[in-house]
Amino acid sequence: MHEKYDPQGIEARWQEAWAKDRVFEVAEDPAKRDRAFYALTMFPYPSGDRLHMGHMRTYTITDAIARWMRMKGRHVLHPMGWDAFGLPAENAAIKRGVHPAKWTWENIEYIRDKQMKRMGFSYDWTREFATCSPEYYRWNQWFFLKLYEHGLAYRKEAAVNWCPTCATVLANEQVEDGKCWRCEAVVEKRDLMQWFYKITDYAEELLAGLDDLDGWPEKVRAIQRNWIGKSTGAELAFKVKNHPGAEIRVFTTRPDTTCGVTYVVLAPEHPLVAKLTTAERKGDVDAFVARMRAATELERTSTEAEKEGVPIGAYAINPFTGEEIPVWIANYVLYEYGTGAVMGVPAHDERDYAFAKKYGFPIPVVIEPPPGVPAPRDNAYTAPGVMVNSGRFDEMHSEDAIAAMTKFAEQNGFGKSRVTYRLRDWLISRQRYWGTPIPVVHCEKCGTVPLPEEQLPLILPENVQFTGHGKSPLHSVPEWVDTTCPECDGPAQRETDTMDGFMCSSWYHMRYTDPRNDKAPFDLNKAAYWLPVDLYVGGVEHAIMHLLYFRFFNRFCFKQGWVPSPEPNARLFTQGTVRYNGMRMSKSKGNAVSPNDLADEFGVDTARVFTLFASPPESDLDWIDTGVIGANKFLKRVWTQVYDTLALPQRPGEPMAAADREIRRQAHLATKKVTDDLEREFGFNTSISHIMVLSNSLGEYLRTPAPQAEYAREAAERLVLLLAPFAPHVAEELWRELGHASYVAFAPWPTYDTEALRTDEIELAVQVNGKVRGRIRVPAEADQKKIEVAALADEETRPHLDGKQVVKVIIVPGRLVNIVAK
């Protein structure tokens, strides 16, 4: 009998057994279809930094759920893989001369073998893949071609970060405080032809779909709603004086304010700027435009940024009033949003008010506050009200005027109602090496030609130079770049942009359902069997980009009939961050707690239990070293208790005593509480504390004069079963010791007997100043305080206390309560 808890020994042994018996590998079994459960954690980027407990927490959360689901009889798919393309690999190549592939594969091996596997996560490792392998990224290329066919992939000019010294394009992450990460030269903007996915075509359905995602945190849905940013309003055309045929189209959410427009503003990039600027204004305007191009969008439009602009010398005509108003350009108008032009209404928009004050525009009021509401002093009135100075629309309610004026504009051919989204198309081009090559060629004769599917995968060449200078490293391989056109067989050049890494993570959940398929990205039946993902766990920092692209891709595939649901996952769980000494745990802050060190010192079950116990999974967690020791002591205690239980002599025929009834009650009560807490909100921390209570009760029971083997065993078995999702290795070991021949990982989750939960109650008489006034029923083990509260709350007794003050409550145990009142 090995009574000493030797975590490293048992952990290695059970991990080997799970692998040997392939217990977590799953296939599509038709008989289990209704019980299929797909648990997925956002897969890691195999960087040079090793995983710390902040990462491990996420995997532990999903693993605990996956294990719990198996015990509940679900058929669980729980995969793991590697989001393996990305910039750090390329930076390592530039800085240290290691090839990105070598660097990446070495990291994967370390993290998989020395870290993930050691934690005992119940993954089906046969489904593992890395997105940087051609077996995976060929399907990125295939999806690109499908999107292209559907008009959802296109090329247009867009700005990139450009380092003039290195003569190279920089990723956003390589720009630090506006300077190059390598040479610190000031970064410039350059326009290049780049590839985009037309996610804006899906804006409305991505927005509407959020309403049905009730398994997602409201916080994440709100972030996405805001990012998609739907605005309803009107597009209005302003004619331009002395420019017959020219029209400035503005987007406004407030067409009701149009009679109060005192200027019109174009974005500096707007094509009309060049056309409408007068000769006298050209110098100032060109200088302003150049300055704006150098600034980032954030700098230009942040609420703190001073609003500034210059007139271009042209005049627009208000389509409602016929008034002539000046045309300006200004920093705050975004070219990419709406129509890239706005009408300025100083009296009813705060930004316009400030701008008008600064540059001296008139501020005519066209909406009065409703009667009784004061107009603001020295500010815009932005709420609805009564229309004034607006001709035929006067006296209308301004909210009705929105529709009425839009209709008028429509009837008179100068406007229409319009919806705008803040969402922009997804720029997928990266001028880098370590990504999926975009499968198109550029032919002088045929233009842009997509590769035929049979030519996939288009393999990333290996022999490239990483200098950090000049064009993308792919340009250093002319034998790869120079090719023939699939259409005309003439000379052509390959596209040298690679795809954004988010492409890989947009459909990986589909690939896990059929990871070795070399005929298609996945088999439709397999996808239909497992999808949608039942539970997706990851960081809230992915609320926008990844989770939006993930939804976009899934919706695209759903439209083609490739996946069974429009949304990729039913439930989303975002875990809190792990802090150490008050700061977010990270390698760069030097406060990363290594899972390997914990495993060596305490075993991984301790690391898992502490991680889940220290705080609710959605909250931040403060790593406390003494807490780890506490978790370790708890497991040691459970260990000893199970062996003590096994050592009890059998005494058949013994009647059930009060202590026996109590330990049985505790065992069933813990079962109920853990089950309820897991069902409700993944309450791992409270679940573990219920298990601790059960362990305390078992300890007490074992110290009573005559504990019975039968009841101790029932409590011990439940202790082990309830602990199994959290501390799986300890649980497997003790389960075998308790005489079970199969894995606890698949043991049925215990149910509870409501009869066993009942406590014995006793009746007590309640006296007020010595006279019996009522009777109460309380649990036999109720303490003084509980009895007192129950007596004072008793319906029959209460009237006799009216107007009196309770001086003292005397309890005669088992018999009565006497309330002394004056």
Measured from the CB of residue 567, what is the shortest distance to ligand ANZ in angstroms? Answer: 26
Measured from the CB of residue 256, what is the shortest distance to ligand ANZ in angstroms? Answer: 8
Strands (E), 318-473: 324-330, 341-344, 367-368, 386-387, 415-421, 426-427, 429-430, 440-443, 447-450
Binding mask 227-246 for ligand ANZ (x = CB under 6 A): ----x---------------
**How big is the site for ligand ANZ, counted in residues (CB under 6 A)?**
18
Using CB under 6 A, pick the residue from 86, 268, 338, 468 that binds ligand ANZ. Answer: 338
Copy the structure tokens of residue 379. 């500010």
Q: Which does 688 bind (CB under 5 to 8 A by kind): Zn ion, ligand ANZ, none?
A: none
Measured from the CB of residue 487, what is the shortest distance to Zn ion in angstroms? Answer: 5
Angle of helix 7-20 versus helix 728-737 axis, rounded to 10: 90
- Indicate the residue among 208 and 520 with the shorter CB distance to ligand ANZ: 208
Angle of helix 604-613 versus helix 684-703 axis, rounded to 10: 110
Only segment of 28-36, 338-346, 651-659, 736-744 that touches ligand ANZ (CB under 6 A): 338-346
- Indicate the residue among 489 and 763 with the shorter CB distance to Zn ion: 489
- Indicate the residue among 488 and 810 with the shorter CB distance to Zn ion: 488
295 belongs to the binding site for Zn ion (CB under 5 A) = no
Could you tell me the end-to-end alpha-carbon distance of the chain, in angstroms, rounded to an integer?
66
Measured from the CB of residue 420, what is the shortest distance to ligand ANZ in angstroms? Answer: 6
Copy the structure tokens of residue 693. 């209570």
333 belongs to the binding site for ligand ANZ (CB under 6 A) = yes
Measured from the CB of residue 484, what is the shortest distance to Zn ion in angstroms? Answer: 8
Residue 344: φ, ψ to 5° = -95, 120
811 belongs to the binding site for Zn ion (CB under 5 A) = no
DSSP 38-72: EEEEPPPP--SSPP-HHHHHHHHHHHHHHHHHHHT
Measured from the CB of residue 348, what is the shortest distance to ligand ANZ in angstroms? Answer: 3
CA distance 722 to 688: 9
Using CB under 6 A, pick the residue from 98, 101, 192, 334 that binds ligand ANZ. Answer: 334
Instruction: Give the CA distances from residue 187 to residues 90, 171, 535, in Å, rounded to whole numbers and listed in that order.
Output: 20, 11, 42
Residue 782 near residue 760 (C-beta atoms within 8 A): no
Measured from the CB of residue 445, what is the shortest distance to Zn ion in angstroms? Answer: 4
248: alpha, beta or left? (left if phi > 0; alpha if psi -120 to 50) = beta
- Indicate the residue among 33 and 357 with the shorter CB distance to ligand ANZ: 357
- Indicate the residue among 94 and 267 with the shorter CB distance to ligand ANZ: 267
CA distance 668 to 715: 8
Before 457, cis peptide (omega within 30)? yes
Residue 502 near residue 552 (C-beta atoms within 8 A): no
Measured from the CB of residue 260, what is the shortest distance to ligand ANZ in angstroms? Answer: 8
Q: Which does 468 bind (CB under 5 to 8 A by kind): ligand ANZ, Zn ion, none?
A: none
Please name the residue that has the structure tokens 């808890």: 5
Q: Which does 565 bind (CB under 5 to 8 A by kind): ligand ANZ, Zn ion, none?
A: none
Binding mask 20-59 for Zn ion (x = CB under 5 A): ----------------------------------------
Helices (H), 366-485: 398-411, 478-481
Residue 417 near residue 405 (C-beta atoms within 8 A): no
Q: Which does 338 bind (CB under 5 to 8 A by kind): ligand ANZ, Zn ion, none?
A: ligand ANZ
Measured from the CB of residue 488, what is the shortest distance to Zn ion in angstroms? Answer: 4
Q: Which does 257 bind (CB under 5 to 8 A by kind): Zn ion, ligand ANZ, none?
A: ligand ANZ
Using CB under 5 A, pick the residue from 485, 702, 716, 731 that binds Zn ion. Answer: 485
Residue 555 near residue 202 (C-beta atoms within 8 A): yes
Using CB under 5 A, pick the residue from 93, 342, 443, 778 that binds Zn ion. Answer: 443
Helices (H), 184-281: 203-210, 218-228, 272-276
| 427: nearest Cα among 189, 143, 195, 192 | 195
Measured from the CB of residue 174, what is the shortest distance to ligand ANZ in angstroms? Answer: 28
Q: Which does 812 bind (CB under 5 to 8 A by kind): Zn ion, ligand ANZ, none?
A: none
**Binding region for ligand ANZ (CB under 6 A):** 231, 251-254, 257, 332-334, 337-338, 340, 342-343, 345, 348-349, 420
**Binding region for Zn ion (CB under 5 A):** 443, 445-446, 485, 487-488, 490
